[in-house]
Amino acid sequence: MKKLYLLYLLASFTTVISKEVTGVFNQFNSLIWSYTYRARYEEISTLTANAQLEWALDGTIASPGDTFTLVMPCVYKFMTYETSVQLTANSIAYATCDFDAGEDTKSFSSLKCTVTDELTEDTSVFGSVILPIAFNVGGSGSKSTITDSKCFSSGYNTVTFFDGNNQLSTTANFLPRRELAFGLVVSQRLSMSLDTMTNFVMSTPCFMGYQSGKLGFTSNDDDFEIDCSSIHVGITNEINDWSMPVSSVPFDHTIRCTSRALYIEFKTIPAGYRPFVDAIVQIPTTEPFFVKYTNEFACVNGIYTSIPFTSFFSQPILYDEALAIGADLVRTTSTVIGSITRTTTLPFISRLQKTKTILVLEPIPTTTVTTSHHGFDTWYYTKKATIGDTATVFIDVPQHTATTLTTYWQESSTATTTYFDDIDLVDTVIVKI
């Protein structure tokens, strides 16, 4: 009795071990820049686009609970209110994919997917997914953003995502933003939660170097709160095509930070370098607010400059949606005489049809039986068979009859001559002995 009870417990607690599968995402179709994105924050250093990728799930390879991941280097975040997207075919969700934004903590974003219970062993589905994304071309002194700021340059770039060891690539034309290269650079980047942003400011350059300066920002809004533990400060002598630093060098400075204001003060900075500072800020989510930037400095040549700047954030945000479409993949088998297996895909229109059919032409082994008859024509007949059996091909060929005549001659050898009759099919064989 105890043994039976233990067996029952073991059966009750038996679980299916999930595994990581790869190759689900199999093609990077396109990368189209998105101009529908509008925000209450002018995200100068954000390049937004819609990435379209192909996917396929085969129930003989993947099982419910299995996971797969799309890794997207140099992607800052997903430009959507949603937290996940489902990979669907004919309105059935076969996988749920969660958005994992890199933002200022990782140099990549990822799509982490789990196969649903809808995928069975006899199911094969495919489709495409459109992901609204923002590339990370700079806007912070964090290690991950400094790394990503070197990913692209203006002009055509190859963008590569990864599904396991599989590389998925496409090419896109990146437009620069160089108009800020010689002025005050201000950038704000929203997190996916929409209630925080990375606020960045880089000083106007002093071409002969700085004697001293003060740089920072402040706001009087009650819901504006600076995270003083998230500050990055540095100087750089390199900016990319979006006027963002691609390096960060430490230098002597002092920081003054409260929940409403962040300033750095500095002395000597060598020629060719510019100071910058950034921090994560808790922001109002419903009301407009102001951010005032301080940019005071004295150049080595003795010129003192104060360039204050105020940003007013008020416009509602409009994000895109992640979209997924798909269809069933059906394999049918037909038999052919031969020795080679061939595969062909029947015509498929994605917008009109819900099923794509792959026709497998499977060869069947054959045996040949040859018979003969008195006549003129050759006859063929095939006895068909199913897969696993052998088909028989019958060949009935015409056959002549022969009449033999024996004669004598003076030679010591025997000679045989055949005269063919294609009219009456009676041949004559003359044998000389």
Task: Take residue 69 and report the two structure tokens written for it.
Answer: 């991941």
Query: What pLDDT digit, counting tens, does each position of 94-145 carry?
Result: 999 999 999 999 999 999 999 999 999 988 888 889 899 999 999 999 999 9
Residues 348 and 308 placed together within one structural domain of the fold? no
Tokens representing 265 are 């003060």
37 and 169 in a single domain? The answer is: yes
Which is it for strands 391-398 and 366-373: parallel, antiparallel or unpaired?
parallel
Number of domains in the chain: 3
Q: Phi then psi for 332, rounded to 5 degrees?
A: -120, 150
Distance of CA 20 to the CA centre of its chain: 17
Closest Cα partner for 114 from 16, 25, 19, 192? 19
In tens, the pLDDT along 314-337 reads 444 555 566 666 555 445 555 555
CATH number, domain with residue 227: 2.60.40.2430
pLDDT, residue 67, reads 96
Q: What is the pTM of this model?
A: 0.72
> In this predicted model, which residue has the larger pLDDT, 406 or 228?
228
394, part of any domain = no
Q: Are residues 138 and 261 in the same domain?
A: no
Tell me: do 276 and 333 sit in the same domain.
no
- The reported pLDDT for the residue numbered 37 is 47
Show the CA angle centred on residue 108, arms to residues 102 and 109, nearest 5°.
60
Domain around 426: 401-432
Residue carrying structure tokens 């209110």: 81
Domain annotation covers residue 182:
yes
Q: Is the pLDDT higher at 302 or at 117?
A: 117
Q: Say which residue, 367 or 123, is predicted with more confidence.
A: 123
Residue 287 pLDDT class (50, 70, 90 cuts): confident
Domain assignment of residue 93, yes or no? yes
State whether 31 and 160 are in the same domain. yes
Output the domain CATH number for residue 130: 2.60.40.1280
Mean pLDDT is lowest, of 38-42, 53-57, 206-210, for: 38-42
Note whether residue 170 is domain-resident.
Answer: yes
In terms of domains, do 197 and 260 share one?
yes
pLDDT digits (tens, 9 = 90+) for 164-179: 999 999 999 998 887 7
pLDDT at 25 over 90: yes
Give the Cα separation of 36 and 388 in Å (integer).
58
Q: Decide which of 258, 290, 315 is a domain's last residue.
A: 315
